[in-house]
Structure 1
Amino acid sequence: MATPGDTVAMTHTIYFSGQLLPGHQKPEVAQRMQDKMRLSAQQVERLFSGQRVAIKRDLDASQAKRFLDGLAALGALAQCEPPLPTGPASALTLSPPADAPAQPAAHPASDDPYAKPVDVTQSSVQQCVRCGTLMPPQALRCHVCGTDQRPGVAKRAGIAALLAVLFGWLGGHRLYLGQWWGVLYLLIFPLGWVISLVEAAVFMLTPAPRWQRKYGDVRGSSSMVAVLIAGPVLLVIVGGIMAAVAIPAYNDYIMRAEVSYAIDEAQPYRDKVEALMLRTGFTPGGNIDAGIPANVSDKHLASLNIKESGAMVITFTHAQLDNQTMVWQPILEQQQITWDCTGGSLPNRYRPTRCRNSGDTTAQAPGAATDAHTYYSADRIDSLELGSDWQPLDIGGATMSYIHYRDDIGIAVQREAREDFEPGMTLDEYKQLLIDYTFTDFSDVSITDMGYRELNGLPALMFTVTGYTGGIKVKALVAAVESSDNFYKVTSWSSRYNFDQREQQIEQLVTSFRTTNP
């Protein structure tokens, strides 16, 4: 029993619920408390979670007052329970019996008010890093709030930024930061990669204290493992997506080439029909009428048949084009043949631009026509197969020249008799003459050789010329063509930018050149 000479020692507990003194801001107070009390980012986050957290226990009145004053100096408003007495307290002293065992101190003898109290039960329980619930020391996850109790790992902003740049489209930077949903970045590719580049800049510009509070104690150690596992899997997925797009596109390219070869093989028979109609005005109704063998076939051309009204129907040898047809319908108007090549069952994506069905407007190239118009030289020996809206152009020395104002493309043919050159002049020598003397008004000239071609059965050497003339950068495609009696220069030109945009169309114009005097 207590005697009048004994003193009753009352202990106090300090609680904090995130309240601040007027004039203080949370980020600054949190940083000061973390530095002064040597707390982890996770512990600071728990202090400011809004819950009432005990941060110091078993303090006597003087220690509790010093602790409250220290927190107030940091800007934090804490509570003490039981409250400190407002005036001097008369304490009763209890003297333990002489034979009583010594009791362990409930608080350290240190004068530092921020020192952690000695918990005599520390070996038997642990406190949740988030909600403060007591649990067995071997527990890995809190049974109340579910927070992982394993020690966290500090993440570096530089590494996160580097991963965002290199593997952001895979979400690698988010996986590094312990955020599994980083794998979802692939679903918004390529937008996800753009977002990750912005995030890389944000990571590098984030102040160190703020980064430390957010990523200084990231729990879970499977982030990099997830990157190593998910990375190859996602690469396979992306590769499959790219293959799914590229393979059909390549297949369409092969089919267009097959059709183009078959059209070239059918060209001589088309010329026969055209010559017959221009000479006699008679429209053949079969192969025999046009002087064409009954069974026509070639490497890429499976069959060719003349139907009523002179329509030429061709089929193809490639297995993927089996049973597909393409129809060329001749139209004689004012001693000029126009071929409509939009008929037949061949899909538009395999047809040349000029032969695509007008019903599929998305397949039309700018300025392309759905039918082919044949333009002749004055003596009707040479011809070009162009679209609509081409106007005559006066160029000295040219046997025929035209311009398409809307598409900004010009084309000209110059015929030169062999007898005007030295005997034995070769096609290579004629091409070199064109290079040396034709483009003398160009500055900053560059020549690109395109090699040997055949233009409707005639040997040709093709090359491009790029240079400045009249202050404009111009690009031209030139074909040096050889026949038994003549040399030809077939040239199509445009501004350099427009040429690059319409290069395939320009090449089709040049290679459409034909002569009836081989």
Structure 2
Amino acid sequence: MHINTMSARPESPRSTSHCENCATECSTHTLRCEKCGHVSSRFTYRSRVAASALALFGGALGLHRFYLGQWRGVIYLLFCWTPVPWLVALVECIIFMTTDQRRWNQRYNHGIGNGHESARVLAVFLITGFLLIAGALITSLYIPFKAFSDLSGLQNQVRASQTLGKSAQRYIQQTGRRPSQLSDLSLPGAFTEKYGQHIQIVRGRISMQFDNAGNASAGELIMEPVIVGDDVLWDCSESTVPAVFHPNICK
């Protein structure tokens, strides 16, 4: 007769805990007591509204994924310098907002609900986000356009000052004296109409006010004629406009 001397393997102890409310024995993996419905203090509710807002405003950094306890938010951080994480997060924001509350709780809250999160709040977040994005895009387009417009306006004034200086130079060479007023110079009517109010001539000393796109003062160009024999040189050292905008006749 064969006797089995092998002892039976001991059963692994069950991992249990007690309900904080009614002291009923529950599995440690259970977040809601089956008897009284009490939710364990270990449970953290993850809001659909909060996740949507984080995806909208901080999605480029993966904040919504960290909030949901998903460490793949690190991937967003690695590529945050590109527009890809932001675009992905924007799509995820829309998905979060359109997800049914019950499905959301089953996926991110172990089926535990915390009331109904109003779609109006989500809509406010979405509208606010789109307004901020639209404002940022408009600003990003306006700033370079404004800079280009200002530079173009200043370049036109540089060319005008070059025309003004050459006309004054011809007048001095032809008459042997310095101009005393703008009408002494042979300038087109359109030139005088456009720049005349910005130009002053006092005893041959010509000053021209430069405007930044016609709004803010960019400085004053002062051209002092220096007659050397038959040549006329221009001293622009007293100008307040940056030297980069001085005409070629300045020495």
TM-score, normalization by structure 1: 0.27
Q: Judging by fraction of residues, say which structure has more strand.
A: 1
Larger Rg: 1
TM-score, normalization by structure 2: 0.48
Q: Judging by fraction of residues, say which structure has more helix.
A: 2
